[in-house]
Amino acid sequence: MQSMLNFLKTVRRKRVVILIHSLADLDAVGSALALQSFLRNSSVIASDLPTAKARKLLKFLKSEVSVGGQLDCDVLFILDTNSYDMLGNLADGVRNFKGEKVIIDHHSIHSDSIKADHLVVDNRYLSTSELIYELLKKLKCKILEREALCLLCGIIDDSAGFRNANRKTFSNIANLLGKTRMSYDDVLRFVRTDADVSQRLALLTACKRAEVEKVGGYLVAKSTVGSFESKAAEALVEIGADISFVGCRGKDGARISARMRDDLAKKLRINLATQVMEKVGRILNGSGGGHACAAGAAGSDIERFDEAMSECLRLTRQMLERK
């Protein structure tokens, strides 16, 4: 981390683009806006619109994320992802970028990760927002209410309602709240949104289509939806599955989200990101990664979608049968 701190001091006034992943969530948007406060001559870009929750925060702050455009800068920062497949139609621009590339992320590195000149990637952090907060503190950067709110939203949203939180997370939340005039409930208004009809329909469809099998005393579920696959995977675990895989096949690519009960990662020593989804991503001609209990894969080969879904179950069976 020290080398990143030294580097940040040298680029503060250079032309910088902060690139965030497709369908940017609160962690991506929040960490980007907070970093932007330090990098004075910077803009935030994504390949498409952020999520509804992130757009709500942007509207409140009267800020914006530019959609598309040229990566016209000296230094390119890539936040909250290290995969080309998460960059949408800007992936080729990143591949061809001639300046310095920087990655700050909390998702595991994989074999197809973006090659960067400078990087801090640490999957012990629950969010990229926490990583950015640590960097800003060490840089002795004054964090105002605006940046504190951004970081709070990112940390709370990516910690799954604190289900995965540790003592440091709670300490960071307390410190950041102290920099605002807002209550915790005020912050939650940005993090919590009522599911619209299309999301609720996707969750019900996932339940209706779910195929469940018992492996070594554990319930493994798989299903398919047209959208909201990550929410659907979470829902299957919430209603009883120990591990779930939910896929979505579109015209231009396929995505699969994986979820596991939080307590099983330590109990079974299973990591869905490194042991399952990285391999599944290669089947889809893409990449996979994430965290032990929440991971995903995406790629362009829609013809091998069914094979990829089957591989999720095959690899999971292998792991569970050894336990």
pLDDT band at residue 22 under the 50/70/90 scheme: confident
How far is Cα 125 from Cα 121, in angstroms, rounded to an integer? 9
Separation of alpha carbons 54 and 205, rounded Å: 25
Amino acid at 235: A
pLDDT value for 23? 84
Q: What is the pLDDT of residues 234-259, one digit of tens each?
A: 999 999 999 999 999 998 899 999 99
Which of 143, 36, 21 lies closest to 84, judged by CA? 21
What angle separates helix 184-191 from helix 145-158, to the nearest 10 degrees?
Answer: 60
Q: How confident is the model at residue 163 (pLDDT cuts 50, 70, 90)?
A: confident
272-301 pLDDT tens trace: 988 999 999 999 998 888 888 888 998 999
* The predicted structure's pLDDT at residue 240: 96
The Cβ of residue 37 has, within 10 Å, a number of other Cβ atoms equal to 17
Instruction: Look at residue 193 and tell me whether its pLDDT is greater than 80.
Output: no
The whole-number pLDDT of residue 204 equals 97
- Which percentage of the chain shows pLDDT scores above 70? 100
Q: Is the pLDDT of residue 194 over 80?
A: no
Position 323 scores a pLDDT of 66
- pLDDT at position 315: 97
pLDDT digits (tens, 9 = 90+) for 104-123: 999 888 777 899 999 999 98
What pLDDT does residue 6 have? 93
Token output for 258: 């994986």
pLDDT surpasses 90 at 179: yes
Q: Is the pLDDT of residue 142 over 70?
A: yes
Strand partners, 165: none
Q: In whole angstroms, what is the distance from residue 52 CA to residue 46 CA?
A: 14
Q: pLDDT band at residue 18, thresholds of 50, 70 and 90?
A: very high
pTM beyond 0.75, yes or no: yes
Average pLDDT of the residues of the chain: 93
The whole-angstrom separation of Cα 74 and Cα 14 is: 7
Q: Which residues contact 115 (CB under 8 A, 6 or more apart)?
A: 101
The sign of the CA dihedral 202, 45, 64, 154 is positive
Range of lowest pLDDT (17-21, 34-38, 66-70): 66-70
CB 90 within 8 A of CB 71: yes
Domains and CATH numbers, the chain: 2-191 (3.90.1640.10), 198-322 (3.10.310.40)
Confidence of residue 265 (pLDDT cuts 50, 70, 90): confident
